[in-house]
Amino acid sequence: TAGEEQMKSIHPGHWGITGMQLSELADQVVKKFTGARENPNVYEVVNQIIKPACVARGVSYAILLNPGGKKCNTFVTHAWFESFLQFVEDIKRYFADFKTRVFWICFAANPQTWPEDELNRLFGPRAVQSPFFIALSHCEEFIVVRNTNTSMYTRLWCVVELVLARAFNIGRPIQVIGSMPPLCHARGVGIGLEASCSRTDEAMLRATMENTNVDVNELVAKAIQAPPGSILFPDESEFRIVQPHGQ
């Protein structure tokens, strides 16, 4: 399709959305959900705003807004069960240059209306060939946005993004913002190496982690427990508090 060709013609590291565009999306969310569900999660925003906006063109939301692409400088990892508005607010508070910064965020970067088989072809057979990893390796900064609704590290994709950032983003720190997540006590809910995802992706993602020297569970535990505003610098083993970015 034309949308598929357009997406493939643009480097994944350029599937970016600016802070200003993210803020404008948040304004749409407020208008859409006022009087109904005032604090929607990302799934609801994708289904009710992003997919309807993108379905005719067959591209991602980021490419819909920036047809020629926009080079990303900040990779954002997060969980879709979070409050969308709180997610935007956490990022906005952290970056002094929020409006002009260009973010790679999966719900905006990836084409949400594509059939599963087309998405699988786009993501490729190995995580290190996926748009996620290509974008991560080209971004200057990597930021973890936690939330109070769920622990993002019950999702295997989130675990793998953290592991790849530690293993391959040489010279780039891992930054953690957002409130500490709730404790997971539910039976059958795993974290870190026990996290879950679709059967299609699981073997590939686990193989990817096995090919790194990262202690996965230790790294995940530190990202969960780190106070907001903490940074894990390369060659260091502990997160430490720093001033908000650009402050």
Question: What SS3 class is residue 197?
Answer: coil
pLDDT digits (tens, 9 = 90+) for 136-178: 999 999 999 999 888 899 999 999 999 999 998 767 899 999 9
Q: Cβ distance 77 to 133 under 8 Å? A: no
DSSP class of residue 75 equals E
In this predicted structure, the answer to whether residue 187 has a pLDDT above a threshold of 50 is: no
Looking at the chain, the whole-number percentage of residues with pLDDT higher than 90 is: 65
Angle between helices 2-9 and 116-123 (to 10 degrees): 20
